[in-house]
Amino acid sequence: MVPTDLRYTKDHEWVRLDGDEATVGITAYAADQLGDIVFVELPDVGRTLDQFATFGVVESVKAVSDLFAPLAGEVSAANEELAANPELVNSDPYGAGWMLRIRAADVSQLDELLDPEAYDALVEAG
């Protein structure tokens, strides 16, 4: 069971909304599927993202995967810890492995995301 206070994309990002500030990361399932994460490329603070736009890249030993913004908005912070310790995405995907903070342009876009039950079902379906 995934954390119940989050919303999810079909591409395995999670988002936690606090007022209009959204924190974004990838799910434990995604981190596990990727395997050892060795590199995370994140956007500069101040960049504006559309909903579901590519905001960065996560690389495991074997593969490169794009990251997609769950909500539109302006990047207010990127997790600088991940430059030196990308493995935090594996060890604590919903906590210290967070990737971005976005000032959400339209919090109603949350309705277009998966709730925990729907995301669980997606993962179960493989």
Partner 1 sequence: MTSQPQVAQSTPLAERHANLGARLIEFGGWLMPVQYGSIIEEHRAVREAVGLFDLSHMGELFVEGPDAGEALAAALVTDPPALAEGRAHYSMICAADGGVLDDLIVYRLGEARYLVVANASNALVVSDTLAERLVGRKAVLDDGTLATGLIAIQGPRSIDVLRPLTDIDLDALRYYAIVEGHVAGMPALVARTGYTGEDGFEVFVDWDKAPALWDALLPAVRDAGGLPVGLGARDTLRLEAGMPLYGNELDSTTNPFEAGLGRVVKLSKAGDFVGRVALEKAAQAPLARTLVGLVMEGRGIARHGYPVYAAERRTGVVTSGTQSPSLGSPIAMAYVAPGDAEPGTILEVEIRQQRVPARVVALPFYRRRNSRADG
> What's the closest the beta carbon of residue 41 comes to partner 1, in angstroms?
7
φ and ψ of 21, to 5 deg: -95, 120
C-alpha 123/C-alpha 80 separation (Å) is 29
Question: What are the helix (H) ranges across the chain?
Answer: 28-34, 81-84, 88-91, 116-124
Measured from the CB atom, the residue of 41 and 120 that comes closer to partner 1 is 41
Measured from the CB atom, the residue of 83 and 118 that comes closer to partner 1 is 83
Which residues make up the interface to partner 1 (CB under 8 A)? 35-36, 38-39, 41, 57, 59-62, 64, 83
Measured from the CB atom, the residue of 64 and 121 that comes closer to partner 1 is 64
Q: Who's near 2: CB < 8 A, 6+ residues apart? A: 8, 14, 27, 28, 29, 116, 119, 120, 123
C-alpha 34/C-alpha 28 separation (Å) is 10
Measured from the CB atom, the residue of 35 and 95 that comes closer to partner 1 is 35
> What's the closest the beta carbon of residue 86 comes to partner 1, in angstroms?
9
> What's the closest the beta carbon of residue 92 comes to partner 1, in angstroms?
16
> What's the closest the beta carbon of residue 59 comes to partner 1, in angstroms?
5
